[in-house]
Amino acid sequence: MNKDINEIDYNECKEHTLGKLLAQISAFDQKAGILISVLGIVFALSFTLIDVINNKDIEVRTILYAFFMLFLASLMFSLSTSILVIYPRKRKNKAAEKSFTYYMDLINISDAEFNKRCESKNGFLIEQINENARICRVKHLFVKLSIFGLIFVALFFVVSASLIIWL
C-alpha cells in the first residue's frame, strides 16, 4: 500500500512541477508582451525628436544624433529580445520516438502509439518537465536581455532629453 501512496505523491509532485513551469512560461510571455507594447510606443514616439534635433546648431545636432542612434539601437535590441521570448520554436533534437511535448509530433501520431505512450504516464511527465524547463530557461534569458537593453534605452533617453533641453 505504501508503494501506491508514494507513486501518487511522485506523480502529484511532477504534475505540480509541470504546472509551475507552465505558469512561469506564461508569465514570461506576458512580460514580453508588455515590453513589446511599451517599446513599440516609445519607438513610434521617438521619431518626433528628429524635428527638435534638426532645429539645433550643427555641432549640437551631431552629438544629439549620436545619442539618438544609441537610443534607437538599445531600443531595437530590447524589442528584438522581447519578440524572441514569444517567437515559436522548433524542436531541437529530432528523436526517433515522437514526443508528447511537441505539437508537430502529435499531428501524425497513431492511436496505437498514443495509447502506448499514455501507459507510461511517468515518462510523459518527466519529458514534459524537461522540455518546459528548457523553454522556460530560454524565455528567461531573453526577458533578462530585454530588460538589460531597456536600462540602456532609459539611459540614452535621459541623456538625449537632457542635451536637447540644455543645449
pLDDT in tens, 118-159: 776 666 788 888 889 999 999 999 999 999 999 999 999 999
Question: Which range is least confidently modeled, 14-23, 31-40, 75-84, 139-148?
Answer: 14-23
Question: pTM of this prediction?
Answer: 0.81
Report DSSP letters for 95-122, one per residue.
-SSPPSS-HHHHHT--HHHHHHHHH-HH
